Amino acid sequence: MPIAYNTLMVHPEKCNGCGDCEVACAKVKANSTDVAHSRIKVIKNLTEEFHGPVVCLQCGDPNCVRSCPGGALTKNPETGVVVGNKDKCVSCTICTLACPYGGITYNPVIGNVMKCDHCGGDPECVKVCKTGALVYSDEATVYKEQIVNEDLFGPDLAACMGCNMEILVRHALRHIGPDTVLMAPPGCLPGVCAVGFNGATGTKIPTTHPLLSNTASMAAGLRRYYKRIGRDVTSLCLAGDGGAADVGFQSLSGAAERGEEILFVCIDNEGYMNTGMQRSGTTPFGSWTSTTPVGPALKGKPGIAKSMPLIMLMHNCEYVGTASTAFIKDFHEKLEKAHQASKRGFAYLHVFSPCTTGWRFPGDQTIEVQRKAVATNFFPLWEYERQTGQFRFTHSVDDPEPLENYIKMLGKFRHLGKEEIEILKKTAAERLKLLKAFASSLEEASQAAS
Amino acid sequence: MQTKYLIIGSSHAGLSAAEEIRVHDQDGTLTMISMENCLPYSPTILPYIVEGKVKPEIIYLRDEKYFKDNKITFLKGKKLVKLDTKASKAGLDDGSEISYEKILIATGSTPTIPPVPGLKESPYHVLRTMEDALNINKAAEKAKSAVVLGTGLVGMHAAEGLQKKGLKMDLIRGRRRAVLPNYFDADAGKLIHQVFIDHGINCNLDQQVGQVESGNGKLKVTIKDGPVIDTDMVVVGTGVKSRMEFLFPDVQTGEGILVDNMMRTSAENVWAAGDVAQAADFFADGKILNAILPDAYEQGKIAGLSMAGDPAKIAAFEEIGGDAALSYPGGVGMNTFNFYGNRSFAVGLSLEGEDSGYEIDKTLLPGGCVYQKLVFKNDVLVGAIGINVAMDPGVVMNLIRRKISMGKDKVEFVIKPLYMGRRLMWKNWLGSIQIAR
């Protein structure tokens, strides 16, 4: 059974050598102000300006474990942390000879070796690191939870190398499970053979290929039918932005207004990518597409995109949320909420999905593009639940990175000048203002009610 | 009995090979044999049992559950006495035969007894097996004094252990007039020697043992051209030799079983790893014994890979290069030696005296027990010794093995080897595993 572990991530380029991590570690581990007790070490150079934390990396195949003559070091199979057994340790220090990373070190004050143990899963050093050089990543819990669920898509889907949609849909179906009927309207999903080829579906659940215009209607009908015969089947739509925002919007809006019990996921790659990268209603201003090319007359899409998430917020849905696979834990939490909400009413999840082919960036940057989109507030992550009347941002929108950090990653924006970038910035800022206004007015309304 | 993989020996090399084999082949039958009637353990832990630092019951490296979970048949108390490499059959001391497809000899080494007149006939102790350690501890309960022969690791550890039990100690060197000459240079050896003297151990390095006599439960150790020492027990730690007496001539041997860089011997389907193997030297041509714990598990891993891995994948991986050593890069001497509350380590070439082509930086603080020596060849570190100095031995080891050319960083490294070593680590082999941004 493959396994994944929570990780203490180290970003040396963000370290400023402040040493707060050492102080925190010595305090929690030895109740001392002497940083000789710190399991994490900061590098102090004489001449070169470099800082970096040095700490045990909890190796997958630890040299220290292999080299301990008494078996005092073991890798905990649950947490992945390499732990030492004091009763078995003879202080031979061969482990310090085996470790290539300075992860286990001799502490002259106690006369024995010591190493990081993640503070049981809540590292103190991470709490005091102001620059973000130390991060505790618990995304592995997602892996552990989901790996036991079956991947309900078949193998050999013909997606582009670096396609984010494939990550997205495989995760989604694992989570939502087999009591599901899937709507996959024209777009990349059927395009990679999910609805079938050679007489078999590319999925292990019943899948149908609705028209681009009637996805939500079909989903609604199927859900109503199953309910009538006494079965609680999830009616799931995995639609592209074409099937959600443009020609599919009429049926989507109607289904939402009627409160149909379906889970509608919009995979937003900001264009009709399957048919040759044509523009859609969600294509951002200035994007190159095959129908908004760049030349002397036109410099990409001349109009700004509409915001589907904002539009759906106005439809009295049970749940509306935005998500990204780069924030996988958040994505699964929202899938869970949306899934549960779809039993009571209409649930809409808008997932940002970069397209390596249509947006023109190297396939191995799919996740990084999403990180930047969120970090620059180009695509804020939030959710709204009607049951609680709560709207909240699930990722901080304070102190965003400059939008240029996102724009420069994409070939489709390569031609943009300063003026165009300003328009994109203005649009993102206005959208965020609207969202914040929505949030605070909900807040006011609930306070007034109580 | 038939088995696909047969491993003779259950210490680090054998255990490491078994793990590696199971990475590549989860189902092939795997049998491991140990000549001792107990679960696997490391001879390296034995001095600490003598010193009383750990209880002998808890030092085993694997339990029955491990063998069950990994589908390994573990046969205890059986010794390999015959190996027919043409027929691929191993003969055990109980008369049984095991047919194998691939065999790994990881039998380690056995103590050598020096040709001192009267020694073999007298009751002496060695320290190579658990039984040896328990016997020493038992004898030490009643003994008031002991003589230890040999100033290598076994001898030094035994001397400290017995001295701490309150015995009057005499420590006599073996062939070489030095303390720990295999790892440390003369300066370091002197410092260590002095600490032992300060703790009341008699150790005159001019003295060599002349003969040994025994009678009435007591021993007499006579120094060559010197005094006679009455003692209750004698411990011999004057060296080890590879355990390979069962091999036919078709497996080439020197001081150990000769192997190539994938731990293959000259006989087909026969591998050797660990203390028993004589493999490439990192620093020079020729093959050497490198009886060091970390080397044993590395050799075992490579043997396991060679025995069970997909040869096409191995070749392809080596072509594109990679961080892991898929073949043996050659043995580098390395050791840690902690004594009487002091810590020391030595890696690589320790080098006596000045040698042309090498640059040596020495720091020896007078009056205390602090020593640092760094040996360079053209800006590349080739050796380091540290006594009570702050350095990461593993980082230093990697600087040597990866042949990191320090360039202008050398100046700072010599002054602050701890921090600069870590900086060089980030630059050279830790930074490369960062995600590209």
pLDDT in tens, A4-15: 899 999 988 889
pLDDT exceeds 50 at position B436: no
Of B16, B336, B420, nearest to A94 by CB-CB distance is B336
Cα distance between residue B3 and residue A67, in whole Å: 28
Set out the domains of chain A in order of their start, with CATH numbers.
7-138 (3.30.70.20), 150-449 (3.40.50.970)
Of A45, A69, A368, nearest to B42 by CB-CB distance is A69
Strands B334-336 and A207-208: unpaired
Q: What is the pLDDT of residues A206-244, one digit of tens each?
A: 999 999 999 999 999 999 999 999 999 999 999 999 999
Cross-chain residue pair B412–A45, CB shorter than 8 Å: yes
Task: Note whether A371 and A286 are within 8 A (CB).
Answer: no
Q: Do domains B2-110+241-320 and B130-238 have the same CATH topology?
A: yes
Report residue B233 as tokens: 């027990």
pLDDT exceeds 70 at position B353: no
Cross-chain residue pair B48–A48, CB shorter than 8 Å: no
Strands A263-268 and A234-240: parallel
A2 pLDDT tier (thresholds 50, 70, 90): low
Burial of A199 (0-12, 13-18, 19+ CB in 10 A): exposed
Nearest partner of A28 among A123, A129, A114, judged by Cα:
A123
What does the pLDDT average to over B129-136?
Answer: 96
**How is chain B split into domains, by residue range?**
2-110+241-320, 130-238, 343-432
Nearest partner of A26 among A90, A153, A119, judged by Cα:
A119
Report residue A367 as tokens: 């996740």
| Residue B427 DSSP one-character state | I
B398 touches A at CB < 8 Å: yes
Task: Tell which B residues from 9 to 38 touch A, by Cβ distance under 8 Å.
Answer: 12, 16
Nearest chain A residue to B345, by CA: A97
Nearest chain A residue to B388, by CA: A108
Report residue A151 as tokens: 């991947």
Looking at residue A285, its pLDDT comes to 97
Of A43, A66, A111, nearest to B297 by CB-CB distance is A66
* Helix, strand or coil, per DSSP, at residue A449: helix
CATH of B2-110+241-320, one of 3.50.50.60, 1.10.1200.10, 1.20.120.80, 3.40.50.1000: 3.50.50.60
| Residue A349 DSSP one-character state | E
Q: Which helix (H) or strand (E) holds A314?
A: none
Cross-chain residue pair B392–A96, CB shorter than 8 Å: yes
Distant-in-sequence, close-in-space partners of B118: CB < 8 Å, separation ≥ 6: B211, B212, B213, B214
Q: What is the pLDDT of residues A243-302, one digit of tens each?
A: 999 999 999 999 999 999 999 999 999 999 999 999 999 999 999 999 999 999 999 999
Cβ-based contacts of A87 with chain B (< 8 Å): 54-55, 58
Cα A409-A411-A412 angle, rounded to 5 deg: 115
B118 touches A at CB < 8 Å: no
Class of B343-432 in CATH = alpha beta
Looking at residue B314, its pLDDT comes to 75
Burial of B416 (0-12, 13-18, 19+ CB in 10 A): middle
pLDDT exceeds 90 at position B356: no
CATH of B130-238, one of 3.50.50.60, 3.40.50.2000, 3.30.479.10, 3.20.20.100: 3.50.50.60
| Residue length of chain A | 450
Cβ-based contacts of A88 with chain B (< 8 Å): 54, 58-59
What does the pLDDT average to over B284-310?
Answer: 93
Task: Tell which B residues from 286 to 305 touch A, by Cβ distance under 8 Å.
Answer: 293-294, 297
Cβ-based contacts of B58 with chain A (< 8 Å): 70, 87-88
Looking at residue B433, its pLDDT comes to 46
Strand partners of residue B344: B387
Looking at residue A139, its pLDDT comes to 86
Of B294, B398, B426, nearest to A52 by CB-CB distance is B426
Task: Note whether A285 and A304 are within 8 A (CB).
Answer: yes
Task: Tell which B residues from 246 to 275 touch A, by Cβ distance under 8 Å.
Answer: none
To the nearest whole angstrom, how far is the Cα of A132 from the nearest Cα of chain B?
15
Task: Note whether B347 and B400 are within 8 A (CB).
Answer: yes
What does the pLDDT average to over A27-32?
Answer: 97
What does the pLDDT average to over B185-207?
Answer: 95
Cross-chain residue pair B395–A47, CB shorter than 8 Å: no
Of B54, B394, B430, nearest to A96 by CB-CB distance is B394
Looking at residue B313, its pLDDT comes to 76
Nearest chain B residue to A47, by CA: B412
Cross-chain residue pair B422–A100, CB shorter than 8 Å: no
Looking at residue B354, its pLDDT comes to 62
Predicted TM-score (pTM) of the model is 0.85
Strand partners of residue A180: A234
Residue B241 has phi, psi (to 5 degrees) of: -130, 150
* Helix, strand or coil, per DSSP, at residue A267: strand
pLDDT exceeds 60 at position B432: no
Cβ-based contacts of B412 with chain A (< 8 Å): 45-48
| Residue length of chain B | 437
Best mutation site among B15, B16, B41, B45 for testing chain A: the one with the most A CBs within 10 Å? Answer: B45
To the nearest whole angstrom, how far is the Cα of A254 from the nearest Cα of chain B?
44
Strand partners of residue A200: A197
Looking at residue B434, its pLDDT comes to 41
Burial of B377 (0-12, 13-18, 19+ CB in 10 A): middle
Cross-chain residue pair B54–A48, CB shorter than 8 Å: no
Of A324-333, A356-365, B196-205, B246-255, which gets the smallest average pLDDT?
B246-255
| Residue B430 DSSP one-character state | I
For B227-248, give one letter per residue: b (16+ CB within 10 A) or e. Answer: eebebbbbbbbbbbebbbebbe
Question: From chain A, which residues contact B within 8 Å (Cβ)?
Answer: 12, 41, 43-48, 50, 52, 54, 63, 66-67, 69-71, 87-94, 96-102, 105-106, 108, 111, 368
Nearest partner of B277 among B17, B101, B2, B1, judged by Cα:
B17
Cross-chain residue pair A97–B393, CB shorter than 8 Å: yes
B435 pLDDT tier (thresholds 50, 70, 90): very low
Of A226-230, B50-54, B312-316, which gets the smallest average pLDDT?
B312-316
